[in-house]
Amino acid sequence: MNIIDTHFHIWPALCGLREGKYITKAEGYGKVRRIGQRIERWIPPSFVDTVVSPEVALEYMEMAGINKAVLLQAPCYGNNNEYLSSITQKYPKKFVAIALVDPRENDQGVSNFEEAICKLGLKGVKFELPDYPFHPDEQKYEPLWRKILELDIPVVFDMGWGESEYDFQLAAMKHLVTKYPEMKVIIAHLGVSRLWDPKQDEPFPVLRETLDLANLSQNVWFDLAGLPALCEEEEYPYPRAQRAIKVAYETLGAKRLMWGSDFPTILLKCTYQQTVDLIKKHCTFINDDDKKIIFSGNAEEVFFS
């Protein structure tokens, strides 16, 4: 089966920004320091320099039978547009990359974004709402959305894992999707949708509200990355995560879902192979043809066409 990981991370020297104010720096052996806060483990200690190289990533992909990956960025890892451009040029059959831009830079942000797409060859853009904290439906960001439409590229949104004013801005996302229905939007982690809360279980009211975004536009997809980490009170094969996936599948069908892992941070919760097998072996409610669509069909259309 052709498998594309639509939520995959590679970085050189980790140095970024969390919540718009805390500088993150690698401490070695998979640990990261938030300046002014604490040291945290983000990836396993086998990543000695807290670096994720493409060569190591490709070995993990080969072991798990992954054909290609979409390289996403996050402010907490740092802006690596030029670095990822070089990786896609070195391994064009394996990777495409998505740009990272600070939307708060206004005209300069639009210029940086256009350069990342037109000069560096990146294939889309990602916004992590709480880490470059902004409200996407504010009028001052309209030039950014118009440029995205002009270039006809996908935009990935991570709606956040916390409870700040910038996390889970569902109303703002509804306004944005309604105003720009032609924009190709991918919502990461099923929108998170408070799935980190064990009380969020069937009938998954918050998740269902998030999935309603797909009713506002035919150009909205959801990735399934990181669900084992969101259901951290469980062990493999994560029955609550399976129930959440079933709700998404029965609500939207396969055409609106994409598989992704959230490599390498997901390795703190499970093996890379288990992120594949969660869908491949344990989501028996998804038929084989639809699994092919979720594992690669939608990604080919959105990121590789």
Task: Give the CATH number of the domain where residue 23 resides.
Answer: 3.20.20.140
Phi, psi of 262 (to 5 degrees): 75, 35
Torsion of CA 303, 275, 43, 53, to 10 degrees: -40
Asked if 32 contacts 50 with a C-beta cutoff of 8 angstroms, the reply is yes
pLDDT at 189 over 90: yes
Report the pLDDT value the prediction gives residue 20, as an integer from 0 to 100.
Answer: 92
Q: Is the pLDDT of residue 276 over 90?
A: yes
Give me the pLDDT at residue 87, please.
Answer: 98
Give me the sign of the Cα torsion angle 141, 143, 146, 148. Answer: negative
pLDDT in tens, 55-111: 999 999 999 999 999 999 999 999 999 999 999 999 999 999 999 999 998 778 788
Task: Kindly state the average pLDDT of the residues 166-177.
Answer: 98
Q: How many domains does the chain have?
A: 1
Q: pTM for this structure?
A: 0.97
* 113: pLDDT strictly greater than 90: no
Q: What is the pLDDT of residues 226-240, one digit of tens each?
A: 999 999 889 999 999
Q: Which amino acid is at 249?
A: Y
Question: What is the residue range of 229's domain?
Answer: 4-303
Q: What's the whole-number mean pLDDT along residues 253-279?
A: 98
Predicted pLDDT at 231: 93
